[in-house]
């Protein structure tokens, strides 16, 4: 029997924010992540063991054994080594592999598609001026909502899943009821040019889901009261088209525009707080770290069942659930904002506090079309017209990896609810599912006949919907 | 034709005939018949002229009638939604059709092989020496004619000091020295006033390049650090080439364009001298970069 003394090392568990857990531990160097997980779970004293990922000193992930990681880093074995543990999502989303149905019905290109916050309904907006609702159980058309007079450019579900707002190129906004497919209230008019983005007020700020923010090419942002059907506030300040508007969880509105600035507004009175400057060309897209949790509201993806259900409970309960989820994801740091621009770079901002960016992320060789935080806010994906997707660290903005495989511009990306998988739709008519842990292509999903304009992953992780220029909406499942 | 207003004066003083209005009315109603009589009976050149004029009148009448009709009827709003629906992120961008992209790729490959590149103003009128340089006579008897004065706008660097005036061959007047240029970015459709770093190439002659003469078509390097452009590697771009698009000596300012993204790295300028096309020597240029 070989009596080799394996070197031992003192490690100290820390959580992401720097708080220590327990006292320093003496462990052998060849300890694997599984055993580390057992130890850590014991320390955390939770009822169910939570899957964890470990990072030495917060930088390098422990993949095979602690020893190899330490050797790679060249760390001294004499001192206490801080090991950061990150709880991963308890549930695991399986990669989608096959196209279960091609939903035809639109007579023009499908421009936008979105799942409702619980994953029960699917809506798609198209160039034939209709918004169609699809029944996910049978994968057939459910309702066709007619009312718009021009292409439906953007759609947005209210966080409680009971209303859908859609904006068209004739600057009108309509609200629809997904159950009956009928229009709720009257058409909201007021903008003078087309609507570029729609965003609802988060559930934990107002459980009735009453207010809706819309941005338009005419450079203004309007906050609408959907119950009364009128415009509450008009926020002007941008000199060119506003490309994106996001309603943050702290009561701030963030808007990006083609005039190269990002502006921060107070939602309560519509006063402009800050202007974030730095980009050299149009700012195309914004992403908030708490985007996913604001979109899903009170629905917890871990509790999803095979048959998606509507949210039940009184308004108070829903509000509390949503607030809990929001606080958990947000942590103690304020929300972070990422903006992607035509100048091929991204900026990471702390908009609630600072005018200066936290980091500038360069590396793309063509314009950045979409940026998206992962649901656990640790990672950031940027899709660009240079055919690649880049993954960055969500906290510091450090570059992590590039996902290459598409042969034409990547238009949109969508994260799975457990932040392990990413699906991307591109102009080359394919969708690709990427595994983030390995950085490799998991699944290639060809099938569309023409460019893929819109991609969405349902919050319960079961389905991916994609629509494009070939007028079909495709649903992909495991 | 009356040369004065005596007819009107008479009318004011004495009024009109008693049956004036009656006669006027009847004459006007007869006019229609007279017109049709004329149209039927005229022959020859007069007829041709008349018919041409009448045709034009009728067209105008029909147009106004139609316009009035439109106002009366309720518009059915017949515009069908145009084809080619694109999502919001593609709306302000010009989409290229695939065939065009492929043919552009082939064209670019061919140009690369031939060593030709694109510049906003590829062909520029060459400026002769008599136009750009004016002879200055010196000497006790004003006979010596070896000095020249530049009559076009020029750029001299920051640390420029004149040579001793006795030995100075080329005079660049202070009034024609400019430091800033108005640079237009074609995509952003915005113009910035940026300081000039230097004259890279004057298409007319290398002599003008070395003197710093700026005429239409000259490639100048401008300081773009204000704009905040960054390369892929994270380096900040502080210099870019722009081509002058106006005649600065006529306007009093220098207008230039940056030929859009991606960066303008190499170019070949051509000048036309009468019918002969002269190719200026191509050069390699790289945007100045600095580490952040």
Residue of B nearest to A130 (CA): B81
Q: Do B227 and A280 touch (CB under 8 A)?
A: yes
Q: Is the pLDDT of residue B281 over 60?
A: no
Q: Is the pLDDT of residue B47 over 90?
A: yes
Q: Is the pLDDT of residue B278 over 80?
A: no
Q: Does B86 touch chain A (CB under 8 A)?
A: yes
Which of B88, B230, B231 faces A154 most closely, judged by CB atoms?
A: B88
pLDDT in the model for residue B75: 62
Q: Do B85 and A369 touch (CB under 8 A)?
A: no
What the block records as the tokens of B208 is 């003008």
Domain covering B129-291, topology: 3.10.290
Calculate the alpha carbon distances from B217 to A163, A245, A409, B282 in Å.
59, 43, 35, 15
pLDDT grade for A71, boundaries at 50, 70 and 90 = confident
What the block records as the tokens of B256 is 């230039």
Euclidean distance between CA atoms B227 and B224, whole angstroms: 6
Structural domain boundaries in chain B: 6-75+105-114, 129-291
Q: Is the pLDDT of residue B7 over 50?
A: yes
Residues of A with Cβ-Cβ distance to B183 under 8 angstroms: none
Q: How far apart are the first and last CA of chain A?
A: 48
Residue of B nearest to A279 (CA): B228
Q: Is the pLDDT of residue B280 over 50?
A: no
Q: Is the pLDDT of residue A211 over 90?
A: yes
Residue of A nearest to B232 (CA): A363
pLDDT in the model for residue B100: 61
Asked whether A464 and A476 are in contact (CB, 8 A), the reply is: yes
Distance (Å) from the C-alpha of residue A451 to the closest C-alpha of chain B?
10
Which of B81, B88, B234 faces A153 most closely, judged by CB atoms?
A: B88
Residues of B with Cβ-Cβ distance to A365 under 8 angstroms: 232
Q: Do A126 and B227 touch (CB under 8 A)?
A: no
Environment class of residue B119 by beta-carbon count within 10 Å: exposed (0-12), middle (13-18) or buried (19+)? buried
B179: closest CA among B223, B132, B238?
A: B223
Residue of B nearest to A450 (CA): B98
Asked whether B267 and B219 are in contact (CB, 8 A), the reply is: yes
In order, the DSSP letters of B125-193 are: EPPPHHHHEEEEEESTTS-EEEEEEE-S-B---TT--PPPTTT--EE--GGGB--EEEEEETTTTEEEE
Distance (Å) from the C-alpha of residue B284 to the closest C-alpha of chain A?
21
Tens of pLDDT, residue by residue over A246-264, are 999 889 999 999 999 999 9
What the block records as the tokens of A362 is 């360069």
Q: Which of residues 229-288 of B touch A (CB under 8 A)?
A: 229-234
Interface of A with B (CB under 8 A): 108-109, 111-112, 126-129, 149-151, 153-154, 194-197, 217, 241, 243, 258, 278-282, 284-285, 343-345, 360, 362-365, 369-370, 411, 453-454
Coil, strand, or helix at residue A317?
A: helix
Q: What percent of chain B has pLDDT over 90?
A: 47
- This prediction has a pTM of 0.68
Q: Is the pLDDT of residue B273 over 80?
A: no
Q: Do B81 and A108 touch (CB under 8 A)?
A: yes
Which of A109, A343, A360 faces B85 most closely, judged by CB atoms?
A: A109
Q: Do B87 and A454 touch (CB under 8 A)?
A: yes
Among A32-36, B110-114, B160-164, which is the least confidently predicted range? B110-114
Q: Does B91 touch chain A (CB under 8 A)?
A: yes
Residues of B with Cβ-Cβ distance to A245 under 8 angstroms: none
Q: Which residue has the higher pLDDT, A418 or A78?
A: A418
Asked whether A74 and A90 are in contact (CB, 8 A), the reply is: no
Which of B84, B90, B232 faces A362 most closely, judged by CB atoms?
A: B232
């Amino acid at each position: 029997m070989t009596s080799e003394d394996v070197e031992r090392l003192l490690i100290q568990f820390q959580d992401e924010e720097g708080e220590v857990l327990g006292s320093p531990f003496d462990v052998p160097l060849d300890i694997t992540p599984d055993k580390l997980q057992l130890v850590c779970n014991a320390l955390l004293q939770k009822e169910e063991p939570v899957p964890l990922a470990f990072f030495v000193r917060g930088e390098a992930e422990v993949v095979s054994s602690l020893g190899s990681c330490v050797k790679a880093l060249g760390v001294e074995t004499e001192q206490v080594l801080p090991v950061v543990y990150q709880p991963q999502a308890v549930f695991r989303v399986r990669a989608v592999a096959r196209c279960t149905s091609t939903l035809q019905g639109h007579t023009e290109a499908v421009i936008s598609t979105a799942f409702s916050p619980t994953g029960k309904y699917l809506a798609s907006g198209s160039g034939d001026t209709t918004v169609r609702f699809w029944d996910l159980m049978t994968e057939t058309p459910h309702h066709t909502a007619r009312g718009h007079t021009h292409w439906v450019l953007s759609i947005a579900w209210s966080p409680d899943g009971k209303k859908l707002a859609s904006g068209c190129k004739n600057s009108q906004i309509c609200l629809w009821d997904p159950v009956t497919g009928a229009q709720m209230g009257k058409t909201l008019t007021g903008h003078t040019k087309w609507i570029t983005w729609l965003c609802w007020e988060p559930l934990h700020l107002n459980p009735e889901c009453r207010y809706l923010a819309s941005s338009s090419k005419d450079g203004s942002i309007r906050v609408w009261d959907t119950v009364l059907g009128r415009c509450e506030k008009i926020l002007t300040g941008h000199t060119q088209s506003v490309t994106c508007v996001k309603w943050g969880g702290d009561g701030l509105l963030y808007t990006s525009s083609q005039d190269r600035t990002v502006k921060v507004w107070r939602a309560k009175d519509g006063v402009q707080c800050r202007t974030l400057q730095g980009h050299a060309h149009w700012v195309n897209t914004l992403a908030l770290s708490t985007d996913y949790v604001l979109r899903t509201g009170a629905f917890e993806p871990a509790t999803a069942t095979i048959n998606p259900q509507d949210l039940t409970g009184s308004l108070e309960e829903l509000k509390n659930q949503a607030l809990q989820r929001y606080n958990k994801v947000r942590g103690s740091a304020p929300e972070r904002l990422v903006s992607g621009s035509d100048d091929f770079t991204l900026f990471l901002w702390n908009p609630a506090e600072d005018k200066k960016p936290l980091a500038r992320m360069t590396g793309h060789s063509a314009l950045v079309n979409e940026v998206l935080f992962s649901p656990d806010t640790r990672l950031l994906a940027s899709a660009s017209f240079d055919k690649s997707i880049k993954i960055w660290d969500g906290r510091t903005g450090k570059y992590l990896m590039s996902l290459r495989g598409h042969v034409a511009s990547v238009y949109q990306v969508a994260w799975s609810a457990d932040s392990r998988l990413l699906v991307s739709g591109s102009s080359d008519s394919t969708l690709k599912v990427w595994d983030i842990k390995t950085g490799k292509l998991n699944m290639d999903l060809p099938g569309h006949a023409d460019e893929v304009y819109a991609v969405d992953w349902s919050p319960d992780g079961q389905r991916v919907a994609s629509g494009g220029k070939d007028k079909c909406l495709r649903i992909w499942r495991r | 034709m009356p040369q004065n207003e005596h007819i009107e004066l008479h009318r004011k003083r004495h009024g009109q005939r008693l049956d004036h209005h009656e006669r006027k009315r009847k004459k006007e109603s007869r006019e229609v018949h007279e017109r049709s009589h004329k149209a039927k009976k005229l022959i020859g050149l007069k007829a041709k002229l008349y018919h041409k004029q009448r045709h034009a009148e009728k067209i105008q009448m029909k147009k106004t009638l139609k316009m009035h009709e439109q106002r009366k009827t309720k518009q059915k709003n017949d515009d069908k939604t145009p084809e080619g629906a694109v999502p919001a992120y593609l709306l302000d961008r010009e989409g290229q059709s695939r065939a065009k992209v492929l043919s552009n790729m082939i064209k670019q490959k061919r140009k690369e092989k031939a060593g030709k590149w694109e510049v906003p103003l590829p062909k520029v009128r060459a400026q002769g020496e008599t136009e750009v340089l004016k002879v200055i006579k010196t000497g006790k008897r004003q006979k010596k004619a070896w000095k020249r004065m530049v009559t076009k706008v020029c750029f001299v660097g920051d640390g420029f000091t004149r040579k001793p005036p006795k030995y100075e061959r080329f005079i660049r007047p202070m009034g024609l020295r400019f430091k800033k240029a108005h640079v237009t970015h074609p995509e952003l459709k915005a113009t910035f006033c940026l300081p000039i770093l230097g004259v890279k190439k004057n298409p007319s002659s290398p002599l003008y390049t070395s003197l710093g003469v700026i005429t239409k078509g000259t490639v100048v390097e401008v300081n773009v650090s204000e704009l905040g452009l960054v390369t892929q590697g994270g380096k900040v771009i502080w210099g870019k080439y722009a081509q002058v698009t106006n005649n600065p000596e006529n306007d009093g300012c220098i207008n230039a364009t940056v030929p859009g993204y991606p960066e303008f790295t190499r170019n070949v300028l051509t000048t036309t001298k009468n019918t002969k096309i002269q190719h200026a020597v191509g050069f390699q240029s790289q945007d100045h970069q600095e580490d952040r």
